[in-house]
A and B are shown apart, each in its own frame.
Chain A
Amino acid sequence: MSDVSSIAQAKPDFIRFVKSNIRDYALLLSLLVIMVFFQYTTNGTLFKPVNMTNLILQNSYIVIMALGMLLIIVAGHIDLSVGSVSGFIGAIAAVLMVSYKVDVITSVIVCVALGAFIGGVQGYFTAYYRIPAFIVTLAGMLVFKGLALTVLGGASIGPFPKSFQLLSSGYVPDVFGGSLFGLPFNILAMAAGAVVTALIVFFNFRERRNQQAHGLAEEPHSIFLGRNLLVAAAFLGFTFLMAQYKGLPNVLVVMFALIALFVFLTTRTTMGRRVYAMGGNEKAAKLSGINTERLTFFIFVIMGALAALAGLVFAARLNVATPKAGAGFELEVIAACFIGGAATTGGVGKVIGAVIGAFIIGVMNNGMSIMGIGIDWQQVIKGAVLMLAVFLDVYYKNKA
């Protein structure tokens, strides 16, 4: 009897599962479609090793900030100041390292701490005085844009010390010096990629076994296998491409570590859970004993530190601090989170979603630039994609 019903249910389960998780799959699929599309329209330039590496370098600072922005948006707030703050921190870094010859490690620590402090000040007004984050960070955006100009005296400061440049332009050194088809091939990068892939697949399988042991495995087996196969193929293919160029950029390692940390923070820790609860229903969270003020304050501190780190990465990449640095970053970061499925009302959103969202924007920037589309039309298209993504979200939510 039970066998019969489970067979009869198998198909509807499969469809129901896909339907209820359509947002996640659609996001991954869109990234894939967009990449294939640009691979075609750029005559194969997009997937060239050198371009792939560039894509990572160009988007690393957006991804880093999107991690913090996701927390902010899930908590029901917004931070408009991240672009200006990252520009300001880049300027401070330049003054410290270039003008005052402070050593690199100390400068980086001071800069990240300063970013955290700036975030803390904005978080303090938002959390304890209940001034809308939109206003507080709009003010911050103007203040730090101005301060960056002041610090730099209206001019650009550079170049940075070699060791600082390595943050963005350095690669994990290849210890093997291998070659493939007569071309240099970074065996270490490939090996690292293989290990990370194996780890991800291993953890996925372990979690699934755990779920099955408690009768919780909702995801149909075929989808689970397909998903893992796709992720593994993407990772291996990606590192294969990177290995053919200079290997793994340092910033990729930093970015990857941060993504892993934030996935863990949001899904496994009490703090992450409390942020989602607060964004979902602040009053209920407060009455459940969650110190919502302190939590809000704290996520702004994290955002400030990440904005500072992003500012350093950007400055190291350009090898110069300019008054214009960071302008408009906040918009790409916020767009990444919303394309990635975060809800404007708070309480909903995933770190991986925000990362994929950032890469969707990054691939579009990159692809359209290679195609020679002007900056004017690029903005129009990016705006339309953001609108479409959020519209589809709202549309399917209302239908459900």
Chain B
Amino acid sequence: MQPILDMRGITKTFPGVNALTNVNLSVMPAEIHAVVGENGAGKSTLMKVLSGVYPAGSYDGEIHFDNAERKFATIADSENTGIIIIHQELALVPLLSIAENIFLGHEPATRGVIDWFEAFARTKELLKKVGLNEHPNTLITNIGTGKQQLVEIAKALNKKVKLLILDEPTSSLNETDSNALLALLREFKAQGISSILITHKLNEVLKVADRITVLRDGKTIDTLDTHTAKVSEDRIIKAMVGRELTDRFPPRDAKIGEPMFEVSNWSCYHPLHADRQMIKDVSMSVRSGEVVGIAGLMGAGRTELAMSLFGRAYGQKISGEVKIHGKTADVSSIPKAIEAGLAYVTEDRKTYGLVLIDHIKHNITLANLEGVSSHSVIDEVKELSVANKYRKDLAIRCSGVFQTTVNLSGGNQQKVVLSKWLFSGPDVLILDEPTRGIDVGAKYEIYGIINKLAEEGKAVIVISSEMPELLGISDRIYVMNEGKFVAEMAAKEATQEKIMRAIMKSWDN
């Protein structure tokens, strides 16, 4: 039998990075094909190549679909041939109805006048197919995420889908909704529709997938057939993380002291959906001189935890206690949290970390203007010497401290953000994805800075999706999943497999 989709030798490079190298993926008709891999393994990039987000010509390799070579220039091209992708972030308009969303862009109309009876009738038919019992007039905002997912699928069916791609479809669904969705995939399979399932949840993969392709570092590592051989989660995890750790981390001599930062029974709810608990009863402690990593998959709640701790910058109905130096600390607002000795280096430095239109000097002193002023008047000479000190200490490569931060490289921007927080004189630093989008050399420098901070006796918490990084720089690791801490291990004893298993196990429960 001919595969319906055959991607051959796909190579995609971004400036400085090989996102995909010679990746092959073939999907048979009426097959459920799972694509698994760590964060950053290249799954999303591969799907963007397939769906035309990255147009033909911007990558190397061939795509054959439905008995012809395809060169998609836009998403519309791929949709017209029957490839429909459903993203993790749902692309529905919340204040329009189910019917309006399903027909958005292809409304049944004559000369621009929409035939709503036709639209409703067809919507009802489609909703029946996906097993959703809602009135077509219901607004999207009034139905849960699981049902929204089904609306997305109904929308796909309306476009005569031949290959359905689901990117982390169950990441925000509960058990029942997840199972219903997987059952639906099986039903589509029976009707001859193929699907590609991208997910971190290996138990789901093993439940429904016919074949599994494992990606790692932008390369195809393995394709496993669940019918010909018994495939276990361990087998998949090994393929996912089986990279060798080389000397990518500066040596470190940890001197761990007294408990510096203690959190007990921390809970927090989604800022908009008051009934959605994002952080569930988390307790942790970090000692002075210790680097503690928080591992987890995307959406595990790590950033939410950090931001809710940092002056309630995220969430509502926050409860729990924070102790710094053994004393209860008031972290109820950001200025108070900074005052208490907390610093948070954000995951998204461009949106939350820097004033990009301003220069390095102004960015470095922003969180501690009192430190360079007397009676609210800024001492420019003092400010300049502070900026130049951090420029030297952290080796910020720039033409001068008057360079606008928007023109700096990612690594140097990150150093500016770090400088800002170091100048605020914190005891506890929370670094959220401190090396995201930074090249290997700058990463090494950032690790060195983290080591130095710990040696100075600060408590450092590192959130990272790169497990080798966490294993390389931490003393201890908490594993987080679905808003809870599901495991804690000393970094010496931790392995990527152990972390992955802890996450998978928490789903099984």
Residues of A whose CB lies within 8 Å of any CB of B are 210, 214, 216, 218, 268-271, 273-274, 276-277, 280-281, 283-291, 347-348
> Is the C-beta of B58 less than 8 angstroms from some C-beta in chain A?
no
Q: Which of B18-26, B62-70, B229-237, B366-374 contacts A (4 or more CB under 8 A)?
A: B366-374
Instruction: Known contacts A287-B313, A287-B346; decide if A277 and B384 are in contact (CB<8 Å).
Output: no
Identify 18 residue pairs between A and B in the complex whose beta-carbon atoms are under 8 Å apart, listed by A's number: A214-B381, A214-B384, A216-B384, A268-B378, A270-B369, A277-B355, A280-B358, A281-B354, A283-B351, A283-B352, A286-B313, A287-B313, A287-B334, A288-B366, A288-B367, A289-B367, A291-B333, A347-B358
Q: Which A residues are CB-close (under 8 A) to B420?
A: 288
Q: Are B352 and A276 in contact (CB under 8 A)?
A: no
Apart from the given pairs A289-B335, A289-B367, 13 other A-B contacts in the complex at a CB distance below 8 Å: A216-B384, A216-B402, A269-B376, A269-B377, A280-B355, A281-B355, A284-B352, A285-B366, A286-B313, A286-B334, A287-B313, A287-B334, A288-B420
Q: Closest approach, in angstroms, between the C-beta of B357 and any C-beta of chain A? A: 5
Instruction: Known contacts A274-B369, A280-B358; decide if A210 and B353 are in contact (CB<8 Å).
Output: no
Q: Closest approach, in angstroms, between the C-beta of A189 and any C-beta of chain B? A: 31
> Is the C-beta of B447 less than 8 angstroms from some C-beta in chain A?
no
- Report the count of interface residues on B (CB-CB < 8 A): 33
Complex Cα gap A281–B337 (Å): 20
> Is the C-beta of B344 less than 8 angstroms from some C-beta in chain A?
yes
Contact of B381 among A210, A290, A347 (CB under 8 A): A210
Which 10 residue pairs of A and B lie closest in terms of their CB atoms, listed nearest first?
A280-B355, A288-B367, A270-B369, A289-B338, A281-B355, A289-B335, A288-B366, A270-B376, A280-B357, A289-B334
> Is the C-beta of B415 less than 8 angstroms from some C-beta in chain A?
no
Q: Mark B335-359, 1 if CB is under 8 A from A, else 0.
A: 1011000001010000111111110
Contact of A277 among B333, B352, B362 (CB under 8 A): B362
Q: Closest approach, in angstroms, between the C-beta of A123 and any C-beta of chain B? A: 19
Q: Closest approach, in angstroms, between the C-beta of A269 and any C-beta of chain B? A: 5
Q: Which A residues are CB-close (under 8 A) to B362?
A: 273, 276-277
Complex Cα gap A347–B335 (Å): 22
Closest residue to B353 on the A side, CB-wise? A284
Closest residue to A346 on the B side, CB-wise? B357
Q: How many A-B residue pairs have CB under 8 A?
A: 80
Q: Which B residues are CB-close (under 8 A) to A285?
A: 355, 366
Q: Closest approach, in angstroms, between the C-beta of B144 and any C-beta of chain A? A: 27
Q: Closest approach, in angstroms, between the C-beta of B178 and any C-beta of chain A? A: 33
Closest residue to B388 on the A side, CB-wise? A214
What is the predominant secondary structure among interface residues of chain A facing chain B? helix
Q: Are B357 and A348 in contact (CB under 8 A)?
A: yes
Q: Are B344 and A287 in contact (CB under 8 A)?
A: yes
Closest residue to B346 on the A side, CB-wise? A287
Instruction: Known contacts A284-B355, A291-B335; decide if A270 and B366 are in contact (CB<8 Å).
Output: no
Complex Cα gap A284–B416 (Å): 13
Q: Which B residues are CB-close (under 8 A) to A268?
A: 377-378, 380
Q: Closest approach, in angstroms, between the C-beta of B32 and any C-beta of chain A? A: 41
Q: Are B378 and A273 in contact (CB under 8 A)?
A: yes
Q: Are B378 and A347 in contact (CB under 8 A)?
A: no
Closest residue to B420 on the A side, CB-wise? A288
Q: Closest approach, in angstroms, between the C-beta of A290 and any C-beta of chain B? A: 8
Q: Which B residues are CB-close (under 8 A) to A276?
A: 355, 358, 362
Q: Are A270 and B370 in contact (CB under 8 A)?
A: yes
Q: Closest approach, in angstroms, between the C-beta of B375 and any C-beta of chain A? A: 9
Complex Cα gap A281–B420 (Å): 15
Q: Are B355 and A347 in contact (CB under 8 A)?
A: yes
Q: Are A287 and B355 in contact (CB under 8 A)?
A: no
Q: Closest approach, in angstroms, between the C-beta of A358 and any C-beta of chain B? A: 24
Complex Cα gap A30–B367 (Å): 38
Q: Are B352 and A287 in contact (CB under 8 A)?
A: yes
Closest residue to A218 on the B side, CB-wise? B402
Contact of A273 among B310, B369, B384 (CB under 8 A): B369
Q: Closest approach, in angstroms, between the C-beta of A45 and any C-beta of chain B? A: 43
Q: Closest approach, in angstroms, between the C-beta of A21 and any C-beta of chain B? A: 13
Complex Cα gap A276–B369 (Å): 13
Q: Mark B306-330, 1 if CB is under 8 A from A, else 0.
A: 0000110100000000000000000
Q: Closest approach, in angstroms, between the C-beta of A298 and any C-beta of chain B? A: 13
Q: Are B358 and A277 in contact (CB under 8 A)?
A: yes
Q: Closest approach, in angstroms, between the C-beta of B351 and any C-beta of chain A? A: 6
Q: Mark B372-397, 1 if CB is under 8 A from A, else 0.
A: 01001110110010000000000000
Complex Cα gap A283–B310 (Å): 14
Q: Are A271 and B376 in contact (CB under 8 A)?
A: yes
Q: Closest approach, in angstroms, between the C-beta of B461 and any C-beta of chain A? A: 16
Q: Which B residues are CB-close (under 8 A) to A218?
A: 402
Complex Cα gap A291–B339 (Å): 13
Max chain A Cβ within 10 angstroms of own Cβ: one of B334, B352, B355, B373: B355
Q: Which B residues are CB-close (under 8 A) to A288?
A: 334, 366-367, 420
Complex Cα gap A281–B350 (Å): 9
Q: Are B356 and A281 in contact (CB under 8 A)?
A: yes
Q: Are B367 and A280 in contact (CB under 8 A)?
A: no
Complex Cα gap A269–B379 (Å): 9
- Of residues 36 to 52 in B, which have CB atoms within 8 Å of A's CB atoms? none
Closest residue to A278 on the B side, CB-wise? B355
Closest residue to B417 on the A side, CB-wise? A284
- Of residues 290 to 305 in B, which have CB atoms within 8 Å of A's CB atoms? none
Q: Which A residues are CB-close (under 8 A) to B351?
A: 281, 283-284
Q: Are A270 and B357 in contact (CB under 8 A)?
A: no
Q: Are A270 and B384 in contact (CB under 8 A)?
A: no
Q: Which B residues are CB-close (under 8 A) to A289?
A: 311, 334-335, 337-338, 367, 424
Complex Cα gap A97–B442 (Å): 69
Complex Cα gap A288–B311 (Å): 11
Q: Which A residues are CB-close (under 8 A) to B381?
A: 210, 214
Closest residue to A267 on the B side, CB-wise? B378
Q: Which B residues are CB-close (under 8 A) to A271?
A: 376
Q: Which A residues are CB-close (under 8 A) to B377?
A: 268-270
Q: Are B384 and A280 in contact (CB under 8 A)?
A: no
Closest residue to B355 on the A side, CB-wise? A280
Q: Which A residues are CB-close (under 8 A) to B380?
A: 210, 268
Max chain B Cβ within 10 angstroms of own Cβ: one of A277, A290, A348: A277
Closest residue to B348 on the A side, CB-wise? A283
Q: Which B residues are CB-close (under 8 A) to A284?
A: 351-355, 366
Q: Which A residues are CB-close (under 8 A) to B376?
A: 269-271
Q: Which B residues are CB-close (under 8 A) to A286?
A: 313, 334
Q: Which B residues are CB-close (under 8 A) to A281?
A: 351, 354-357
Q: Are A270 and B338 in contact (CB under 8 A)?
A: no
Complex Cα gap A281–B353 (Å): 9
Q: Are A277 and B366 in contact (CB under 8 A)?
A: yes
Complex Cα gap A210–B379 (Å): 12
Q: Closest approach, in angstroms, between the C-beta of B422 and any C-beta of chain A? A: 13
Q: Which A residues are CB-close (under 8 A) to B344?
A: 287
Q: Closest approach, in angstroms, between the C-beta of A142 and any C-beta of chain B? A: 29
Q: Closest approach, in angstroms, between the C-beta of B424 and any C-beta of chain A? A: 8
Q: Which B residues are CB-close (under 8 A) to A214?
A: 381, 384
Q: Closest approach, in angstroms, between the C-beta of A295 and any C-beta of chain B? A: 12
